[in-house]
Structure formats: C-alpha cells, structure tokens
Amino acid sequence: MNILRSHPHISGQIRFAWRFLFGCGLAFCGFALPRPAVAAPPGPVDAWTQLTLPGQAAGDYFQSIVVDPVNPGTLITACGNNDARKIKWYRSTDYGDTWTLINNTAMNGNPWGFSIDPNPARDPATLPTLYSPAGYGSLGIWKSTDGAVNWTRLTAADAAYVPYNPYGVTDAYHTAILPDDPPNHLLVTYHYGFKNNPANEGGFGESWDGGQNWVIHPPPDGIGNSHYVLPISATTWCVISQDPNMGIWRTTTAGRIGGTLAKKYRDGVISTSAWTKVEASHSHAHGSYTPVKIGNAWYSPGYSNSEGGIWKSTDDGATWTALVPGYYWASPPNAPFMNKNATGLAATDQYIYSNTFVGPELARAPRSNDAQWIRNYTATPAALQGFGGNPMGNTSTKHPSGYWLVFMATSNGVWRYVEPLGNSTTTISVAPTLVTVTAGATQQFTATVSGSANTGVTWTVQEGSAGGTVNSTGLYTAAATAGTYHVVATSVADGAQSAVATITISGIIPPNSAIITITVTVNDIVLRIPALPLLPYFLNPT
C-alpha cells in the first residue's frame, strides 16, 4: 500500500518537511550562533587593587599567600610582626573578593615561610594541612589540620632541636612540605645558626610522619642560615640562604651518604658531605620568598652582589642561569633601575610576575621569553609606594571568568591584579551546532578542543534546568517545554573559550502515537522534523 496516497494528510506533512529543509532550512548554514558573554572579571583589569581584610591593623605585615591546590578560589594568608603580636590568619573562598579572619590560637610573631598541603588528589571537601613558623614571637614549628583555623605546636620538633638551639628554643624559618608524601614529609630550616657553630650556620629538621618524629641535618660549611627550600623531589632538595653570596646548595640523596633510593636513602647516614654548592651567589631576599615551577623549569627569586634577581634551572636544580645578568635589572625597554632583590614569583598562562624587596618595582616576563622582563607593565598604586621594606609573597589562580589573578602580600595589605585576557591558543568547537528535537528526547553532542594538551570540557545548559539537562559526556535531555535553548561546552584549559549548540524543542507529542521523523544533515547541521502522529487506525488498519 502507498502510504502517501492512502493518507494524504501524512503526504502533506512530509512534503512540507522537505520544502522546509531545502527551501528555508539551508539558510541555517549561515546562521550566526549566539555566544555566551564572558563572565565579568572580579575587579579592574590590568590594575593592582588593594583588598579589604577585616581586623587589619597598623603594623600587620602580610607574609606568604597561598592558593589551595584543589580549590582554586580558596586563598590563605597571614600577617604578624617582629613585635610578637598575635598572628592573624585569613581565608577567602571567592578568589579574594571577601576574607574571613579564621585563627583561634595564641600564636605570635611572623608566619614567614608557611606551607600548604600541595597534594592535588586531596578531597576538596577536606580542609588542608598547613605548617608555619612563628618568628620573633612564639617560635617553634606549628601545624594546622583544619585550614589554618587552629594551630598546634609540634613539641617533638622542640625536643629534637634541643642540642642545636643557641637560645634554648626552636627558631624555625621555612616549613617546607616535600612532594613525595604530602603533607607528612617535611624539611624545616632554621633561623640563624645552630648552637656552637662558629660561622653561625643553620641546618635542617626532617620529619616523614607529619611532625611526630624528627631527625636533624647539621649544616655543611659555607651554607649560611635562614634558608628557603625548593622541594624538587623526595630526595633532591635545593636550599637558599638569606646570607649574601651563599649560593644554592643541593642534595640528591636526602642529605645522606649510603643508603638506597628505594628507601629514600633513610637507610643511609646523614652527612654534610651529601650537599654540593651548585650556584655561587644567589641569596633570597628574606621573609616571603616564593619560587615557581613551570613544566620542568624552576624559577627562583632573590639577590646577589654581582648579578641576577631571578634564576632558572631546567635540570632539577643541578645548574642555574641568571635570567638578567648584571647587578641592575635593565628591564627593556625601560631604563635600568634598582638593585635586583626580587622576593616573589607567580605565573599565569602568559606571564611570570615578580616584585622587588623595596619600592616596590613590579615586573613581568612573557613565558615565551623569560629573559625579557618588563618593568612597570601597569601603574604601581601610590598606596604601595614606600611599603616595599617587607618581603612580598606572591601567588596566582585562574578565575571562572577566564581571567588570571595575581596576588601579592605586603606590609600594606593584600593586593590583587587582574591580567587582561590574551590571545588564547585554545579553540573549541561543538557538533552538531543546530538541532530540532521533541520534548523529552535526547541528543548527543561532542566537543573538540585544539591548541591545548588538556582537551577536557564542561557541559552546561545556558538557560539552566528550564532548558533541559546535559551530562558530563555531552548527552542532552530536552526540556518538557517547547522553545529554543543552548548547550554550552567550555574548555577546561581556558575557561574563556566555549562553543554553543542551539536546540529547538518542538511541541509535546501525544502518547501512544507513532512518529515519522525525517533527519537530514547539511554542513554539520542536523534537523529532525517530526510528522503528525499516525492514528491508531493506521497502525492497525483492521
């Protein structure tokens, strides 16, 4: 039986569908797809802005500032002073927009080189563990397991350091968490020198159980004191003193001779001969020294009487290169300026940022040319001028809007810079781009990311649940209400890059009906045109 002749109303529907497809449907090939607006940045773009922290008082010198590695919108910072005032710990969970004063412990002094658990596999719902010194105040080594709210002094460290304390109390400086077993494997440096050391040089304390037990590493001759640690690996460590021209020292055997790598050399013997001086003149500029690692490259800020300001290593700290040779930082195209005593570094997709110890002077270099440091890439706020005497810690994170944020902790509060959006190399497309479906139907979308090793995407419905749902694989389920909706695929590598598919949902189809659907694909456009339901008579003509 010829269905079209026997049922002229069906014939009319199908002819209409074909006329629609090839008459006006092809016009969709040139249809300009709507693109969702990029979310607004959290502050003025290309400018440093001072953030408001509750309870901040005169003389509160902010030291380090860190981003929670599993919660990119969570930052922690702290302030103190040499006058032994109570240390204030602050946390932000909205990329620095608002801050909460969170500490509950009578911990006084300076939170110089505090560290946060770097484990990227930590449950984001679990608050991070942190370790901190308390210089010129409570002293000792302190630990928090609830994101810096409460702190406990590690008395086992005090006991281990007794033979080495010249003043009868543990004077810690940098509490570094090593990468092999975070947050349990620690290397802690000493402020000033060990007891009875004629050169006033300081050694290191090591714990691999979160501070319950400790071993002490005496300092080799010439290593200096008040070190910061570059935690290359479980057994390879670099340390940098604040003493001028002490250079960078390195061990690849966890400060021991003998032993085996399988046991992280703990079956060996702690020895000063396990250390080698690998760079001659690099020192850090006190306080909140902040290195940064990009790929296999370590960047270290500091100062020297003869060269540098920022050093680079691409071989796990075995060799180092001064990125800007000479005592003055030429910063093309700017004139030479102050002594290159850089304190902190932070990196984004486009740039490496730095600042100097006094002034401050702000500079950055493109990651594609890390020797081309540009001074004053933006105006230095007047409120920062004259407040560079205290070291400045740096960090960075990417906002959901796609903008990179750079933070700086200073003796005049915490500051944030919003980096302008650059020419991203990441592109994304989605297929199909146009579909028509019935209410409640499903449609599979796919996304293709180019220009980034990270090809992950997130899927959303632009209109929210009213427009249907889409799962993590791009499978869309249409809403129950007819209309036009949009599915958005957003690049994980670059949140500013997204692609949109437009969905038209036709009216609800009566139940218990048969449907003829015509599907035509033209230039990646899929149109599904449902014909009128066939009556039960047609399904069962008898």
Q: State mean pLDDT over 112-116.
A: 92
To which H or E segment does residue 156 belong? Answer: helix 155-161
Q: Which domain holds residue 528?
A: 3-39+423-539
Q: Are strands 228-230 and 130-133 parallel, antiparallel or unpaired?
A: unpaired
pLDDT of residue 92: 98
- 465: helix, strand or coil: helix
Helix (H, G, I), strand (E, B) or coil at 518: strand
Question: By mean pLDDT, which of 173-182, 327-336, 385-394, 400-409 is the weakest?
Answer: 327-336
* Same domain for 479 and 439: yes
Within 13 Å, how many C-alpha atoms sit on residue 202's CB side?
Answer: 26
User: Same domain for 401 and 510?
Assistant: no
pLDDT 10s digits, 413-472: 999 999 999 755 677 899 999 999 999 999 999 999 886 666 878 898 988 888 999 998
Q: What average pLDDT does this structure show over 20-37?
A: 39
**Which residues does 149 contact at the CB level (< 8 Å), separation at least 6?**
89, 102, 103, 104, 127
355 within a domain of the structure (yes/no): yes
User: By the 8 A CB rule, do 289 and 301 touch?
Assistant: yes
Judge if the upstream peptide bond of residue 432 is cis by omega within 30 degrees of 0: yes
In a domain, 119, yes or no: no
Structure tokens at 330: 């030429």
Residue 406 and residue 447 in one domain: no
CA distance 201 to 222: 8
Give me the pLDDT at residue 404, please: 96
- Structural domain contains residue 447: yes
400/466 same-domain check:
no
User: Is 514 found in the same domain as 456?
Assistant: yes
413 & 427 share domain? no
Domain count, the chain: 2
Q: Judge whether residue 332 has pLDDT over 80.
A: no
Residue 162 has pLDDT above 70, yes or no: yes
Collapsed DSSP state (helix, strand, coil) of residue 222: coil
Which two tokens mark 63?
């030291």
Asked if the peptide bond before residue 179 counts as cis, ω within 30 degrees of 0, the response is: no
Residue 99 in contact with residue 90, Cβ under 8 Å? Answer: yes
Q: Are residues 359 and 454 in the same domain?
A: no
Last residue in a domain, options 420, 436, 466: 420
As a whole number of angstroms, the distance between CA 70 and CA 74 comes to: 9
420, 442, 464 - which closes a domain:
420
Mind spelling out the 3-state secondary structure of 349-380? CCEEEEEECCCCCEEEEECCCCCCCEECCCCC
Q: What is the pLDDT of residue 508?
A: 53
Confidence class for position 35, pLDDT limits 50, 70, 90: very low
pLDDT of residue 495: 58
Judge contact between 332 and 326, C-beta under 8 A. no
| Percent of the chain scoring above 90 in pLDDT | 59
pLDDT (average), residues 54-79 = 94
HEC string for 18-71: HHHHHHHHHHHHHCCCCCCCCCCCCCCECCEEECCCCCCCCCCEEEEEEEECCE
Specify the pLDDT at position 145: 98
For residues 407 and 293, state if they share a domain. yes
Q: Please give the structure tokens belonging to residue 41.
A: 């940045």
Q: Shortest CA distance to 390 belongs to which of 139, 116, 148, 112?
A: 112
In a domain, 438, yes or no: yes
Q: Is residue 176 part of a domain?
A: no
Instruction: Check residue 323 and give its pLDDT.
Output: 83
- DSSP code for 262: G
Indicate whether 13 pLDDT > 50. Answer: no
Could you tell me the pLDDT band of residue 370, with boundaries at 50, 70 and 90?
confident
3-class DSSP state for residue 468? coil
Confidence of residue 165 (pLDDT cuts 50, 70, 90): very high
For 240-261, give the secondary structure using H, E and C.
Answer: ECCCCCCCEEEECCCCEECCCH
In this prediction, residues 92-118 reach a mean pLDDT of 94
Whether 157 is in a domain gets the answer no
* pLDDT value at 194 more than 90: yes
Residue 12 pLDDT > 70, yes or no? Answer: no
Report the pLDDT value the prediction gives residue 358, as an integer from 0 to 100.
65
30 domain residue, yes or no: yes
Least confident segment among 198-202, 210-214, 247-251, 330-334: 330-334
What is 415-456 written as a DSSP string?
Answer: EEEEPPP---S-EEEEE-SEEEE-TT-EEE-EEEEESSS---
Residue 182 confidence class, pLDDT cut points 50, 70, 90: very high
**Whether pLDDT at 193 is above 80:** yes
> What is the average pLDDT value for the chain, to the nearest integer?
83
Q: Which pLDDT does position 212 carry in this prediction?
A: 98
pTM: 0.72
Assigned token pair, 494: 């670059």
pLDDT band at 38; cut points 50, 70, 90: low
End-to-end CA distance of the chain: 14
Q: Are residues 396 and 434 in the same domain?
A: no
395 in the same domain as 302:
yes
Tokens of 207: 């714990």
Question: Tokens for 95?
Answer: 């990329």
pLDDT for res 285: 80
DSSP one-letter code for 538: H
Query: Band of the pLDDT at 493, cuts 50, 70, 90?
Result: low
Residue 460 lies in a domain: yes
For residues 328-340, average pLDDT: 45
Give the mean model confidence (pLDDT) for residues 230-237.
Answer: 97
The band of 390, judged by pLDDT with boundaries at 50, 70 and 90, is: low
> From CA 370, how far away is CA 322, in angstroms rounded?
11
CATH for 486:
2.60.40.1080
Please indicate, yes or no, whether residues 469 and 401 belong to a single structural domain of this protein.
no
The full 3-state SS of 192-207, as one line of letters, equals: CCCCCCCCCCCCEEEE
The SS3 of residue 505 is: strand
Based on the fold, state whether residues 373 and 429 are members of the same structural domain: no
